[in-house]
Structure 1
Amino acid sequence: GADAVAQAYLAVRSLEPIGAHDAGVEGRVVDPARTPTAPSGPGLLPLTVASTTLGLLAGAPIAARPTRSRAARAS
């Protein structure tokens, strides 16, 4: 799909009049698209650190909320 988009872009660009963009500059695909060999992502360690940090930040207001004891409710 990515190669098809690149080829279509180059075909349309070659039909534009000279001087419309850069006169005399030819477009070409530098590196054809390849199927990834591994999934991309931040990795296990950064994901674990971020999840822990966000969990603590979300839970801090709940943990800091004052609690009422049974004696305070009775009075």
Structure 2
Amino acid sequence: MRRYLAARPWLTVHRLPAYAPDLNPAEGVWANLTTGLGNHRFDRLDDLKAAITARLRRLQHRPDLLTGFLAHTGLSLSPA
């Protein structure tokens, strides 16, 4: 890996810890999806699917919230 990276000076690599939920924007999405559900039990798989779909649709219309999940990590989609 070191030789590979040395041959590509344009490539910047940042080592991340093996487990870093604070650097994963999907954790914010998951937390938002599960807020208010508590230990809710769904009797049917279709009910669970409907609940997830409704919550994802709500997020789909909130790009500011999705951007916030990324901003919370301190990461950026733009190259340095």
TM-score between the two structures when normalised by the length of structure 1 = 0.25
The structure number with the bigger radius of gyration is 1
More relative contact order, 1 or 2 (CA 8 Å, 6+ apart): 2
